[in-house]
Structure 1
Amino acid sequence: MQTQRSFPIATFNGLTETAMRLLIILETHYGQDFDFETLRLMDFFAVFSGDVDGPQSLHPVTSARGGAYNVRKTSIAHALDFLLAAGLISDENGVYSATNKDDGDPYRTRYLTGIQSASAWMKQRAKQIGSKAFTSEMRRTALSLAEESLSAQPPQADEMFASLKTTYESDILRLEGLQDASEIFQSLLEIDLKAASNDNGSVIPPFSYFEAVHAKATKEIVSTLSLYTGLLKLRPELRDTPTTTG
């Protein structure tokens, strides 16, 4: 059995956040199954839904956002392994599906509620134009954004400060969502996953892992709020700039 040190206490795009996004996506699409590459696209557009004419994106709409599509592959694979070992999803011949249906209850934070809304929109969009057409649309857009990110120019000073404001606002929403996700997985570990964790310790983190992730998210909220307050003191004109994230 691996030790806790095998599970980095990561916040953004770490095991907890990625697994929660994928679980919401799959539970929203209960009864449907998706291969790895399609889930990779759905994970990306759950937070950049505005790029495919969906709800307002949850993550900052920066010129470098396309790079996120290429760097999440490993974190998605690890998150799927965890969800499979926990019995929250199933895998048949390389396609994944949820074992439970989204019960429709809203999550406690705007970030997870936003993921849920974006997932519901993706389901409706695929129904309207066909799942293959929508998958192709997502793939074309993701590849285009990834290519654009390679040639993105550094922002000018005013753009940089506005982008920082948006990023801090988005980060706070994500960290609050991470707190919520940590508590959800703690509850599952305590009730449903206890036996599974004994047999799959190399894939399922110990209960204390999610406590540590929650503590780190709490600490980072404080530091991000401090940076955000400092930015508004430095550039008070940004106070009246509307946020560009959900």
Structure 2
Amino acid sequence: MMNLPSFRLEGKKAIITGAGRGIGRALAIGFAQSGAEVILCSRTESELEQVKSEIEALGGSALVYPVDVTDTAELKKTVKHIFNDFQVVDILINNAGMNIRSKANDVTEDEWIRIMDTNVKSAFMMSQAVGIRMQEQQNGGSILSVSSVAGHIALKTGVVYAASKAAMIQMTKVLAYEWGSKGVRVNSIGPWYFETPLTKHLLEDENYLNEILAVTPLKRVGQVEELIGPALFLSSEAGSYVTGQTLFVDGGMTINGF
């Protein structure tokens, strides 16, 4: 009888950035419930401690490593600390991100730098720091970045945000190509609108919400828990032959011809 591929993560160590709220929090809880020991990273230690408490209350295991991922020196120091503590890391989730919804005419250099540093630079520097160590591991590893449908099609989400997410999708392909022979898989997921602290005020605008639903075949926004399954698939043995791909978790939005 054929052994079915496993979505379980027992014995795996998973770093998750931006783990204190929203999508990162949901993925941290979901991965812990699937058996992983999760390593929670973000700037706000109090939020990470709250997520750690939630995970432990559910019988899972989590550790907190506060870090500003836009500070490359601090990021590298933290990654070194993590590997000193664990020796092996199996999974990296690049989730830290931000947006400033400026129209192209109004974008400032500071906005460009802040968004690109948070969304792209941090994801690459974290992938590089962790990926180099994964290439040395016997079983390689899996890197997953949280991109967006905005990196694939033109949306009114802000030009810099869209550019950053498009860069993340292409970075995923190149890293997968370079590191595949070393057993490191690199993928991304591209969410559409999900209910998070960052989107709450937007979704409370009925006209804005109706615009979203009009181009979403499933006619609803997503719940962050619905990202756990796709992320687990790409991070676990169930997705062992998948690399360089972006899975759009979008209620069908990207297949819509508008």
After TM superposition, the score normalised by the length of structure 1 is 0.28
| Bigger proportion of residues as helix | 1
